[in-house]
């Protein structure tokens, strides 16, 4: 009888050991996944692609520096292209999602649609499609809005600006209403083309974006 009891104890002990080891491995894997740096994909136009600036002077690079300084574990991939429209971003996004598997997609697009006078509804459709693609790839979305100059007509400018607000509510995405707030009304902060901010303006641009970006990155 004692031999039988000893055998049962040994068998139970081995079973518990295997279960404990499995639990530890699962916990270790979960902890590793949680601690892995999040990838932030920035999909923008020339305002994010450092057009006319030295490399590392734009708001995206400044944001990456700030993340490191604050020890926020995130890797930033800047996939912005000068001249990009919402249509171009929509066509490029699936491959970028597959390649980088981001946790957060920051969409800074629409300015070139507006400057070309393209229909606001078309830009909204493209932005919505990008948000849908990101959601299917288990990535969250953050929107960065833009305003059109008054010479484009008040009706068009108002509809264009309002598009970002209504879409952000619809898709439940955090929004920076206007990235050039505090910059757009200061001609001295722009390059000779009067469209692209100088390097010193990008600290203000980052200040507009940072609170929403930081919160979006930290969100689970």
Rounded Cα–Cα distance for residues 34 and 199 (Å): 35
Give the CA-trace dihedral at 54, 59, 63, 64, to 10 degrees: -30
Helix orientation angle between 59-69 and 202-218, rounded to the nearest 10 degrees: 50
Annotate 127-166 with b (16+ C-beta within 10 A) or e (fewer): bebbbebbeebebbbbbbbbbbeeeeeeeebebbbebbee
Among 104, 68, 59, smallest CA distance to 219 is for 104
Measured distance CA(156)–CA(123) in Å, rounded: 13
What residues act catalytically?
Answer: 46, 193, 196
């Amino acid at each position: 009888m004692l031999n039988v009891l000893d055998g049962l104890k040994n068998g139970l002990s081995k079973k518990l050991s295997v279960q404990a080891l499995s639990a530890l491995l699962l916990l270790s894997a979960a902890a590793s996944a949680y601690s892995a740096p999040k990838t932030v994909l920035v999909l923008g136009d020339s305002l994010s692609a450092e057009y006319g600036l030295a490399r590392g002077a734009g708001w995206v690079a400044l944001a990456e520096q700030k993340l490191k300084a604050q020890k926020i574990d995130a890797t930033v991939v800047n996939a912005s292209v000068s001249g990009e429209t919402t249509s171009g971003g929509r066509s490029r996004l699936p491959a970028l999602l597959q390649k980088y598997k981001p946790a957060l997609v920051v969409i800074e697009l629409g300015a070139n649609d507006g400057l070309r006078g393209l229909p606001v509804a078309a830009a909204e459709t493209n932005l919505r499609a990008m948000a849908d693609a990101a959601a299917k790839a288990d990535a969250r979305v953050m929107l960065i809005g833009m305003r059109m100059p008054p010479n484009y007509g008040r009706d068009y400018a108002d509809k264009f600006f309002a598009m970002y607000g209504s879409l952000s509510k619809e898709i439940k995405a955090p929004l920076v209403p206007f990235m050039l707030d505090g910059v757009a009304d200061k001609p001295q902060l722009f390059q000779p083309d009067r469209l692209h901010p100088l390097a010193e303006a990008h600290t203000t641009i980052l200040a507009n974006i940072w609170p929403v970006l930081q919160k979006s990155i930290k969100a689970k």
